[in-house]
Amino acid sequence: MTTIAVLGNGRVGGNLAAALTRAGHEVAVADRAPGAAAEAARAARIVINATPGAGSLERLTALREELRDKILVDVSNATLDGPDGLPADLIYPGSSLAEKLQEALPETHVVKTLNTMLFPVMTAPAMLAQAPSVFLSGDDPQAKQTVRELLVDLGWHAQWITDLGGIQTARATEAAILFVPHVIRSNGFVPFAVSIAR
């Protein structure tokens, strides 16, 4: 059992919190109440960033002390939304939210994952007809191993998990968000994920 704080209680955060609780972890969800995020992060070993990516950097930089020596699992994508509310462009072209977080929080182990799929797939990857892929980006091998174990708890088979390397590789997976609006407009909000076929 691991103590986990989920920052963000929308569809993504709520879905992850429920699934991790079912898997036997002790999970606290921080809402927007003043001080809630700091309190939850302080008590956790792992913190999951499920806040809207556009404001994540500012929100998490304010928690520098609470996040010291913790694993920060970043599942958000920092995007500018179009008129229909779907992602239209990246906020950090040529970089990534994960890299910005690691730079701002040097004593925190940032791991990027679960950001290349619609949110229901995060906790039920077997719902898809084909095997999906999930990626890990991060500079700390031990932190990535811990996150890999969490992914298994969420139903991800080991062969579906690909470690891409250092945190700079997150710019590739974050750029995959640019597929999403086109896929949704074509097929509707049907669960899907990026998949590497071998």
In this predicted structure, the answer to whether residue 32 has a pLDDT above a threshold of 90 is: no
pLDDT at 198: 84
In this prediction, residue 98 has a pLDDT band, given cuts at 50, 70 and 90, of very high
Record the tokens describing residue 161, joined without a space. 């998990």
pLDDT of residue 137: 98
Q: Distance between CA 100 and CA 103 in Å, rounded?
A: 5
Q: Give tens-digit pLDDT for 166-179.
A: 999 999 999 999 99
Q: Does pLDDT of 4 surpass 90?
A: yes
Checking if the pLDDT of 71 tops 70, the result is yes
Mean pLDDT, the chain, integer: 95
pLDDT at 33 over 90: no
pLDDT surpassing 70 at residue 1: no
Q: Please compute, for residue 136, the number of CA atoms within 13 A of its CA located in the half-sphere on the CB side.
A: 26
Query: What is the Cα–Cα distance from 36 to 42, expressed in whole angstroms?
Result: 10
Taking the model in full, what pTM does it have? 0.96
pLDDT, tens only, 111-140: 999 999 999 999 999 999 999 999 999 999
From 110, 99, 162, select the one nearest 136 (Cα to Cα): 162
Percent of the chain clearing pLDDT 90 (strictly above): 91
